[in-house]
Structure 1
Amino acid sequence: MSYDNTAKYLAELYPADFANWLLPDQANQEVTILKTELSIEPIRADSVIFLQTKSRILHLEFQTLTKSNPPLPLRILDYYVRLKRQYRKPITQVLIFLQETDDEVAFTTEYTDEMTTHRYRVVRLWEQDALQFLNNPALLPFAPLARTDSPSTLLSQVAQSVATIPNRVERQNIAGCTEIFAGLRFTKDLIRQFLREDVMQESVIYQDILQKGEFKLFYRQLNRRFGEVDTSIIEQIRALSTEQLEALGEAFLDFASVDDLVTWLAQLQ
């Protein structure tokens, strides 16, 4: 799920760059981000992003897997109907597959039923020209997944592009996102030959994923030991930083009851 969320993070951070990439005929228009909760029995779309230009809605959905319930073509149709009813504008839908696959779903561009046909666009990153990503920091994290005859050479080019980003914070965040996507294609050892680990680990998205991983691990341990815990306590734990969660994990070994956990959290505050 980190891959989908990382793609969503980038699209929300750089909406105009994504719109210019996928709607070149409407380049340089003002782009706004629409909420990802759709009305009519609301659903929360965690791996999609809805962008709005002056005259069109751009619906992006990022996928690493082809399996889905309901199937992806039907989901795309469902989103289309909800968006159309809510915004009454033309809609371009783009399903972006991050990881190479030969599954026919990745090559399907329409939903077909007895009386219904609905078309949408599909982008398979492994078929895309890497140059369009290498020259744009907003899209640079996708470059390791692009078409190439020499993946290691491509990864070297990506690292060089990351290094040229002048803003330190942006460089850290792009490096973190790049490492996440590169993990779909390369081994950790190869990634770290080209991308500096200290830079990647300082990125916001990288730290966010680490924090979520620490929280999930502790949550499982907590449930196994003490059973269901009050929601307010869980929310306090969820708000902890990665370092605080690590400290809690160590202290947890000495807890005899949930009261010890409550006391620890109170002392932290």
Structure 2
Amino acid sequence: MYDNTCKFLAENFPEDFALWLLGRPLSLTKIEPSELAAEPIRADSIIFLESAEIILHLEFQTQTDENMPYRMTNYCLRLHGKYPHREIYQCVIYLKPTKSPLVYQTTFKFQKLSHEFNVIRLWEQPTDLFQQYLGLLPLAVLTKTDSPEATLRDVARQVERIADRTLQNNLTASTAIISGIALNKEIIRRLLRSEIMKESVIYQDILLEGKLEGKLEGKLEGKLEGKAETTQQIALNMLRANVSVDLIKQFTGLTLKQVQQLQKRVTAQPKMPKSVKPKRSPNH
């Protein structure tokens, strides 16, 4: 869930990520992993963005992976095969603090082959930089801050000043989910006061309920049905909170067609009429 949220931010705010990582405001568009052919790419934490001059390959990680150097080399070779004249910038972005030495690996070596890639540990990044760009705001809580709670409070104030309701909702949802790495849910609920918080942001609570319901069924079929129903309920809640279809797809894993079908259900639901108070008799 954290990886997909970061992917959503990179896809929707590519210039902010380009300014942060490349130092220049490039206009980037998404490359689908399927375009690189060969074996399937694990797409839950990976995003490829391109401009006329550079390919930006980002991989978001909450946990370390000893195979990361090989994977980055493999992706680089695939990208070079598809785009031989483009510069390739690769970066693994670790979200969660760890003492594992794997977060310092930046090189893959095999016989005469040697490949280097970039690594960013968010907890070492300056907080003020992330508060300058909308697309980076949800990540600010994970940076080098003395108080994640105070940082979330500052982010909440900035998000509340956004006039565009859809943009505000998307950033609120993204901030709430990513902040779950550093803060407990009670603090997040208290600081991010928004309709979207009431409807769909407490994703983990709903997901946990779905898993428990599935386990109580006692059968694999029951578990799968429970999980599917939970996913649909999450999507319905997000639609009612006016969250964008793209964000819902990222969070739930549903296809565009499935989300659109649920959207029709929400649109077709009749609104409850407001209750009318009876007029008092003139004799009273």
State whether TM-score is above 0.5: yes
Matched to 1:54, the amino acid is A
Superposed CA deviations along residues 240-262 of structure 1, whole A, max 9, x for unmatched, are 444879xxxxxxxxxxxxxxxxx
State the shift of 1:216 in Å. 6.1
Stretches of structure 2 that go unaligned for 5 or more consecutive residues are: 238-264, 269-284
Matched to 1:224, the amino acid is K
Is the contact between residue 214 and residue 242 of structure 1 (CA under 8 Å) also seen in structure 2? no
Give runs of aligned pairs for residues 196-235 of structure 1, distance below 5 A.
196=193, 198-202=195-199, 206=201, 224=219, 226=221
Aligned partners of 1:228 and 1:160: how far apart in 2?
Answer: 40
Q: Please state if 1:79 is matched with 2:75.
A: yes
Q: TM-score, normalised by structure 1?
A: 0.76
Corresponding residue SS for 1:138: helix
Q: Percent identity of the aligned residues?
A: 37
Cα RMSD (Å): 3.2
Aligned partners of 1:143 and 1:22: how far apart in 2?
Answer: 15
Corresponding residue SS for 2:134: coil
Q: Counterpart of 1:113? A: 110
Corresponding residue SS for 1:141: helix
Aligned partners of 1:186 and 1:208: how far apart in 2?
Answer: 15
> RCO higher in 1 or 2 (8 Å CA, sep ≥ 6)?
2
Structure 1 range deviating more: 86-95 or 107-116: 107-116
Relative distance call for 1:13 and 1:221 in structure 2 (3 A) is farther
Q: TM-score, normalised by structure 2?
A: 0.72
Stretches of structure 1 that go unaligned for 5 or more consecutive residues are: 246-267
Aligned length: 237
Give runs of aligned pairs for residues 15-94 of structure 1, distance below 5 A.
15-24=14-23, 27-37=24-34, 38-67=36-65, 71-88=67-84, 89-94=86-91
Is the contact between residue 182 and residue 191 of structure 1 (CA under 8 Å) also seen in structure 2? yes
Aligned partners of 1:6 and 1:243: how far apart in 2?
Answer: 15
Is the contact between residue 91 and residue 118 of structure 2 (CA under 8 Å) also seen in structure 1? yes
State the shift of 1:135 in Å. 2.0
Aligned partners of 1:9 and 1:220: how far apart in 2?
Answer: 31
Is the contact between residue 215 and residue 222 of structure 2 (CA under 8 Å) also seen in structure 1? no
Corresponding residue SS for 1:62: strand
Q: Counterpart of 1:142? A: 139
Aligned partners of 2:149 and 2:41: how far apart in 1?
Answer: 40
